[in-house]
Structure 1
Amino acid sequence: MSNPDTASLTSTTNPAIEAADATPHDLKATTDLNPTEDDTKSDDVEPEEDDEEDNLFTSIETSEQEALGKTEQASGHDATAAPTLLKDAITKGEVDVDESEAEEEKGEGLGEEKKGEEHVHHRTNQLEFLLNKASEYSNFIANDLAELQSGLAAEAELALKREEKKKRKSEGGDKKKKKRKKNDGEPTEGEVNLAAAQTKHESGLAGKKPIFIQPANLAEGCVLKDYQLEGVRWLVSLYENGVSGILADEMGLGKTIQVGLVISLVAHLRTMAVSGPFIVVAPLATLPNWVREFEKWLPTHPVVRFHGTQSERDEMMAGPLNPKNKKKDDFPIIVTSYEVAIRDEKRLNKIGEFTYLVVDEGQRLKNHRCTLISSLKRIRSSNRLLLSGTPIQNNLDELWSLLNFVNPAIFDDLSIFQSWFGFKNIGQKVQGATTEEDILLEQRQNQTVTKLHEILRPFLLRRIKKDVLTDMPPKKEVVVYAGMSKLQTGYSEMIEKGVLRDILLNQGIEQARTLSQTNKQMNHRKNCNHPFMFGEPIDPATGNPLGTAHPQLLIKASGKFALLDRMLERLFKDKHQVLIFSQMTSLLNVIEDYLILRNWKYCRIDGSTKIDERQRQMDIYNAEKTANGGKRNDSDDRHFVFLLSTRAGGLGINLATADTCIIFDSDWNPHQDSQAMDRCHRIGQNRPVAVYRLLTVNSVDVEMMEKQISKKKLERMAIVGGDFRKAGSRSRGEFNDQALTNLLEADVKDLQSKGADAESVRIDDDEFEMIMNREKLFAEGDGAIPSEGKMYDVLDSNKGDMLGAMHA
């Protein structure tokens, strides 16, 4: 179905899209770099990217997985084995290994009980040694920054004194000139502006300690903000101390910010006569942006996009990237894709050893077994930097994988890391899960969580929007609950009995032939969204699809759709613009039918949308923010809705025009949903942002939300609680038991009981008014609405929402 009045060029009935929805291939392409137990539960989700990189990784992973498994079975992992740094320390006598352990290593053996005691003792020694080393690194970095700031403050004070002296001299100058100026009357606008600028400059010099001097070779007009300067200085400190790091700034700060930091680091190193070569490995779609920003910020240094056909790459290697010239000052900075990094690993090593290897979207390395991380490890480099807004997505093993990549001599044994920090499935009712009480007890007895923070501290820097973007409008997230329609209830019973496919086929719904009845969980997820996802029934009277013959049935067939319809009518009336996210492209097709029914203009991006078309639609949507002489277009002909698939949004999609985000169905991975929200709550937003998450009560939606809460507890405990805003030290006081307790609290309590005591499983008019009226929703203090209602929950932004960074 198409609509000439919409910006969407994607057909709602495209059979290729529908076929992709019904197969697990797309999911495999999404998760082959970083599979998790939860990701494998979805066979109808949108891939993160639909390009040759994913296809390449899929084929390589499939062929290598079996061989890898056999190798690991044969070799195994000894939990008492020490990382390289520890082995050296043991050899030098820096870590104690008592005689009984030495005897055991010689094969003389010990009793089982004694072995256990010595094993714990050995692990404790290793952990304490690494803590000491981490503390040394942190102190180096913190002291380095303190000394630098002190020196720059002294320079600033001298500059201020020179300015004051100059001013006094000027005031005692030519009296005739002064008199003439007085007779001229009021100062001109230019003079007023100049005076204001001078005052601002002087007050800045007097009241602020400079953090870092911007590299002089950056282009004129490219000015770094204070927190960017601090980030550059942290990177320089890592370089000077011989360690590598992870820049994990919160999503929503913008890709350009991180790109600018990397370019400034390279610029600084060049001013210090540090020769390259330098290489950036990034997703294919971001390569043009990297090249463009290097040319903008550092135009004096050449940059080459190492991509294209084999012959084109051969030509580059023979020309500007000839390894013979790698130590020359004008040797280009290399920007390449993951795919080429894998294919041309050996040729890149002819250029290396690289001074810096930078990996963008570093969370792709979270699976320590993936081909990408193995290939990048083999590219020789003296320093590595990962850029990632999501250093933890599912478990601590992923964090170890990133640490192992940047500092393999310190983190080279996963089993040891697991033995120290074995937290998993926090608060979940599954076997082997860690309870909140377990974590609190570990912290009280062994300071385990604090030790995790201190080991990470020198290698991780994470700034958050609340601190950096002080003028960022607030965001409120509301979970809104919906019931099931009678049709959904009937489908749910048929799914449980395993008869849904047969009954739908008997009703003439041919699309049901592709329905798998073995994956009940996925079928329940589809049913929670809309029963037409299994195929739309035909109206016997007209022979047309039911939703076409009776449009209102399209809405009434789903509890979430009935709620969505109610919300969108209010949002349209109140002049808002809305992003709607779903994991399933087939659901986006159903929503398109609904939007056409309502005659609302919309745009759409999913995994099949090409890069140029993505940009075109974003331009159309965002242009209306400055329409009509600079005023937002609030008229009825505006593009009211932008439809997006949750996992097709990792390529710099900026939709700050919208001030409302609706998560129609949640992802197993909370960071996918968090990234979705950041499409509108980011730099450039000038309105408060309301996020509405739709959940069907007594359904698989609740199970997914509980899993998200568990994963966010892990991230809060490990990353947010660590307070990595400032390089080398905490910025907000000491970490204590109460802070940990707060971090481990659930944002929505007792999800299973929601809707159970409501007379009708539908939000009532009073509650609906509270969450949809922006003044009421964003009111504070006595005027704030209750955080918990019968059919909604407002997440506490001060404590930290489920899907954003907690500000401890």
Structure 2
Amino acid sequence: MSGRSSSEESDGPHISSTKKRKPNRLESQDDDTLADEKKESILKKLHNNFPDLDKEELREVLNEHDWSYWEALEALQVFANQEDEVPSESEAKNINGNEITSNFKKQPKEMPLMQLKQTPAAEEQNGKIKKHDKSRKGGRIIQRETSDSEDSEPLSSDGDSSLDEDYSSADEEVEGVCRTKIVSFLQDATLDELTLIPQCSLRKAQKITELRPFNNWETLFQMFQRANGLSEDLIWHCKTIINEREVVHKLMCRCADISQRLEKQVTQIIDDGESNSTIEQPDILNKSLELKAYQLVGLNWLALLHKHHVNGILADEMGLGKTVQAIAFLAFLYQKGDKGPHLITVPASTLGNLRQNTINLTILESKKTKYQQLILYSCSISNADDRSLFRRVKLHYAVFDEGHMLKNMSTIRYQHLMTFNAQHRLLLTGTPLQNNLLELMSLLNFVMPNMFSSSTSEIRRMFSSKAKTSDEQSTFEKGRIAHAKKIMKPFILRRLKSEVLQQLPPKQDRLEICSMSEKQGQAYTALFKKLKRSINRNEKSDLCNVMMQLRKMANHPLLHRQYYTADKLRKMSKLMKKEPTHRDANPDLIFEDMEVMTDFELHLLCQEFGSIRNFQLDKNLLLDSGKFQILEQMLEDLKTQGSRVVLFSQFTMMLDILEVFLKHHKYRYLRMDGKTQISERIHVIDNFNTDMDIFVFLLSTKAGGLGINLTSANVVILHDIDCNPYNDKQAEDRCHRVGQTKTVHIIKLVSKGTIEESMLKNGQQKLKLEHDMTSSETGEEGSIPLNMATLLKASLGL
């Protein structure tokens, strides 16, 4: 393909051969596909001259200069020649997660001869001066040319013809390589891989496989032209997939290089017998927080990453003391002279617990030291002033507890926390993988932004894609899992309780399928038919809301309104006029308010106001639930056995009804949900852990499922399961963790023949993805990464 634009073939004025013109702009291309190829060729040529610059930045420079190679080249050279812009060695140290200090390179002060021929800062041309206007954009200096005349002639140079030939030959070479890759991809790709091509459906992918083999480019093109339903655009769209593959391949190579460096150092320590190179428990850490063997491994892993300027994710299974390991690491840094400041962001539910646990640290003895060295902060960061503060404060380490909250790079929380001015980042999470591989990539992008941020679009497409074939686990999915394992290996350490805590009592899971009560079953069937009719009639219906309505009915009928009819509400609204607080109220407005309330809310309203007290629901209706029938006998047996129960529910109103149930059966209980003041939560937890006469602890899954320790209980009952099984796992591990001395029983209540059974099946599929990610090549479940943990353990003599 020629490097010239179509304007050269016009009947316009003849251009003297003694004067070299610049290559014409790409806007003159009639063929968009050829223009795309030309752009990629120019980008590659520019990247060869500036290998240390990211391709996306180079693409922005080219866009700024209308894809003129020469103008972009001159602009970048002006930037490269600004000596004051070149970072010093001290400035080149890792910030926000660059992979390794040794990888930093200064921009070369001497440019290749080919470039130097056309890079003066200001050149005279036929008596006119090219002036360089330097402006900032994205950290670069963009150079623009200004002239007294728009038709200024380009410089003449003896070497220009050879440059033009190089330009064309390089372009043809790139085109040939690209075509070869496209033919190879379309020949060998699986159905799932073909459906990744933009605008390629499963039907089109099947048609492509039927046309095989593709022996060469010409054959491929002819087959697509003749085939019905296939367009030539699909061929060119393959470049998107090929580019994404290359980006992921480069990431895997870089990650493999980091892994080898880290493992090499640990191996060297073992071979040399340098026991002084390993790190023991810091002296300033309170002896009551004595680290276990696997926690010492975690401490050494964090120190090793720190030495190599690599950020990481400590992803030990819930209950293995990730927070203690992080505190020990900060104590180690303090002993080495690193005075911080450091920041720990935590969920509101764990703030009090963390304060309680860290108060014994010597470095936190005084208030002055506390706020200079370690800042505790809730990760519900919604205050603009706070966000502005943390952008200005220069933090050394930012530790993010419950890091899985950063699984979505599109959320406001993620974007806000990304702006924190921290030199190093550490994530703590017991569930690094929840719904899909993209969430894992989001975590990696957060801890190592300089390594992953330039490739977020490719990563997003590669790891958010789902298999479209019906195989149980296609080759496509296995390939994505293999890629993700290689990418995450250097940055994640995960140990399971079954591996490192042989002395921890076992956890026994039990599933209770509960038949709904007669009235509940009838109400569920009626609701299901009503919602189905509304969907079939294309009425405005939110499917998520449909699912929520079915979930509520599956748990308890009083979460809907069916017993308080419209006629009954009319009577109640008129009687409310007798109340001093509603004497001047309009009964019609009272009726409208009542219409949107559930049966249980209306029951509570009747208890509050004497004028309508006679409309309270009968006790039998309050207890009319299939799950309550199972729960009644279950709690009686557990009480007899001397067990203590933590009872979780997704819905605070369900907790209200459960309170009625517990009071009816005269069980002592405590309750904590999202409405509980943060300052009170630690006291409520302490009361339950110390007062053994309290039989049940009622908790909302969201508020009580993170970071708290309830090892004084040995039974966890999930009254209603979560759509995300990892939220349930978080709840389970409030009891099954370090410090537990009894066998822990996990009991899940699922209503038979309802939406909950589908939720359970979907959750099991999500858990299977985690199992695949944490399994070794031999198929046995293992840690991530197993080799590094094993090496560190050997170096410590454990």
Same fold (TM over 0.5): yes
Structure 1 position 715 matched with structure 2 position 770? yes
User: Does 2:745 align with 1:690?
Assistant: yes
**d(CA) in 1 for partners of 2:411, 2:316:** 24
Residue 602 to residue 302, structure 1, CA distance change in 2 (3 Å): closer
- Say which SS state the counterpart of residue 747 (structure 2) adopts: strand
Distance 1:216 1:731 in 2: 23
What are the ranges of 5 or more consecutive residues in structure 2 without an aligned counterpart?
1-38, 59-102, 106-168, 183-216, 218-231, 533-540, 569-612, 792-798
Name the aligned partner's letter for residue 477 of structure 1.
D
> Which residue number in structure 2 is paired with residue 470 of structure 1?
502
The superposition leaves residues 746-767 of structure 1 with CA deviations (integer Å, 9 ceiling, x where unpaired) of: xxxxxxxxxxxxxxxxxxxxxx
Q: 1:132 aligns with which of 253, 256, 263?
A: 253
Is the 2:349–2:703 contact (alpha carbons within 8 Å) kept by the matching residues of 1? no
Equivalents in 1 of 2:289, 2:641: separation in Å?
39
The equivalent of 2:459 in structure 1 is 417
Cα distance, 1:530–1:131 mapped onto 2, change above 3 Å: same
Structure 1 counterpart SS, 2:451: coil
Q: CA deviation at 1:150?
A: 4.8
User: Which of 644, 666, 683 in structure 2 is aligned with 1:599?
Assistant: 666
Deviation for aligned residue 1:613: 3.8
Match of 1:282 in 2: 346
Report the counterpart of residue 486 of structure 1 in structure 2: 518
SS in 2 for 1:129: helix
Cα offsets for 1:657-714 (capped at 9, x unmatched): 2221111111111111111111221222211111111111211111211221222222
Deviations for 1:261-298, whole angstroms, at most 9, x for unmatched residues? Answer: 22322233334444533222333454454455444234
- Residues 607-756 of structure 1 aligned to structure 2 (within 5 Å): 607-625=674-692, 638-719=693-774, 725=783, 729=787
Pair 1:298–1:261, CA change in 2 (3 A): farther
Equivalent residue in structure 2 for 1:529, among 534, 550, 555: 555
* 1:344 counterpart SS class: helix
Letter in 1 for 2:290: V
Q: 1:519 to 1:718 in 2, by over 3 A?
A: same
Distance 1:302 1:451, change over 3 A: farther
Question: 2:427 corresponds to which letter in structure 1?
Answer: L
Alpha-carbon distance change, 621 to 345 in structure 1, aligned in 2, over 3 angstroms: closer
CA pair 403-99 structure 1, distance change in 2 beyond 3 A: farther
1:582 paired residue number: 649
State the structure with bigger RCO (CA 8 A, min sep 6), 1 or 2: 1
For residue 66 of structure 1, what is the aligned residue in structure 2? none
Tell me the amino acid that sits aligned with residue 655 of structure 2.
L
Name the residue aligned to 2:28.
none
Contact 2:774 2:784 (C-alpha < 8 Å) held by counterparts: no
User: Equivalent residues in 2 for 1:63-78 (5 A)?
Assistant: none
Which residue number in structure 2 is paired with residue 243 of structure 1? 310
Distance 1:392 1:241, change over 3 A: same
Query: Residue 393 of structure 2 corresponds to which residue in structure 1?
Result: 351
Alignment match of 2:442 (pick from 382, 388, 401): 401
8 Å contact 1:222–1:297 — kept in the other structure?
A: no
Amino acid across the alignment from 2:315: A
> What is the deviation of 1:134?
1.0
Following TM superposition, by how much is the alpha carbon of 1:477 offset from its aligned partner in structure 2, in angstroms? 0.8
Equivalent pair of 1:284/1:337 in contact (CA under 8 Å): yes
| Matches for 1:237-386 after TM superposition, within 5 Å | 237-253=304-320, 257-274=321-338, 276-299=340-363, 332-338=373-379, 339=381, 343-352=385-394, 354-386=395-427
8 Å Cα contact 1:457/1:729 also seen in 2: no
1:142 aligns with 2:209: no
8 Å CA contact retained: 1:475, 1:689:
yes
Distance 1:476 1:547 in 2: 37
CA distance in 2, matches of 1:141, 1:341: 39
1:296 match: secondary structure: coil
8 Å contact from structure 2 (residues 353, 682) kept in 1:
no
Who is 2:482 aligned against?
450
- In structure 1, distance between residues paired with 2:419 and 2:544: 42
Deviation per residue, 1:553-606 (Å, 9 max, x gap): 544x32222112222222223222222211112222222222222222222222
Distance in 2, matches of 1:593 and 1:362, equals 36
Q: Tell me how far apart the structure 1 counterparts of residues 544 and 460 of structure 2 sit (CA, whole Å).
A: 34
Q: Distance in 2 between matches of 1:100 and 1:227?
A: 57
The alignment partner of 2:490 has SS state of helix
Change (3 A) 1:102 1:269: farther
Q: 1:662–1:692: 8 Å Cα contact kept in structure 2?
A: yes
Q: 1:726 to 1:148 in 2, by over 3 A?
A: farther
Would the aligned equivalents of 2:358 and 2:364 in 1 still touch at CA under 8 Å? no
Tell me by how many angstroms 1:348 deviates. Answer: 3.5
- The CA distance in 2 between the partners of 1:295 and 1:281, in whole Å, is 16
CA contact (8 A) 2:353 2:708 kept: no
Residue type at the aligned position of 1:358? V
Structure showing greater radius of gyration is: 2
Partner of 1:561: 628
Shift of 1:142: 2.0
In 2: Cα distance, 1:341 partner to 1:667 partner: 30
Paired residues of 1:294 and 1:303 also in contact (CA < 8 A): no
Q: How big is the shift at 1:607?
A: 1.6
Question: Tell me, which stretches of 5 or more residues in structure 1 are unaligned?
Answer: 1-77, 156-209, 307-319, 321-330, 425-431, 501-514, 626-637, 734-808
Q: Distance in 1 between matches of 2:234 and 2:291?
A: 59
- Distance apart, 1:462 and its partner CA: 1.2
Using the size of structure 1 for normalisation, the TM-score is 0.58
SS at match of 2:423: coil
Asked if the contact 1:247–1:461 (Cα under 8 Å) also holds between the matched residues in 2, the reply is yes
Residue deviations 1:393-419 (CA, integer Å, cap 9, x gap): 222222222111111122223331144
| Distance of aligned partners of 1:224 and 1:144 in 2 relative to their CA distance in 1, 3 Å threshold | farther
Match of 1:224 in 2: 291
Cα deviations by residue, 1:213-235 (Å, 9 ceiling, x for unpaired)? 23344455553222122112111
Measured at CA, do residues 100 and 258 of structure 1 come closer, stay the same or move farther in structure 2, by a change above 3 Å? farther
User: Contact 1:478–1:691 (CA<8 Å) still a contact in 2?
Assistant: yes
Describe the shift of the 1:219–1:524 C-alpha distance in structure 2 as closer, same or farther (beyond 3 A).
closer
Q: Give the Å deviation of 1:211.
A: 5.6
- Call closer, same or farther: CA 1:303–1:387 in 2, change over 3 Å: farther
Aligned equivalents of 1:645, 1:600: Cα separation in 2 = 19
Counterpart of 2:446, as a letter, is F
Partner of 1:744: none
CA separation of 1:575 and 1:243: change in aligned 2, threshold 3 A? same
| Partner Cα separation in structure 1 for residue 324 and residue 383 of structure 2 | 22
Change over 3 Å in CA distance of 1:218–1:609 after alignment to 2: closer
Amino acid at match of 2:420: I
Indicate whether 1:389 and 2:430 are aligned. Answer: yes
1:123 Cα deviation (Å)?
3.1
Measure the CA separation in 2 of the matches of 1:263 and 1:400. Answer: 26
Instruction: Determine what percentage of the aligned residue pairs are the same residue.
Output: 31
Aligned-pair distance for 1:653? 2.7
Q: 1:151 to 1:276 in 2, by over 3 A?
A: farther
What amino acid is the match of 1:238?
Answer: L
Distance 1:700 1:464 in 2: 31
* Counterpart residue type for residue 729 of structure 1: N
Q: Is the 8 A contact 1:305 1:334 kept in 2?
A: no
Q: Does the 8 Å CA contact 1:366/1:402 hold for their aligned counterparts?
A: yes
Aligned equivalents of 2:401 and 2:254: distance in 1?
27
User: What is the CA-CA distance between 1:86 and the residue it aligns to?
Assistant: 9.2
Contact 2:393–2:421 at 8 Å: present in 1 too?
no
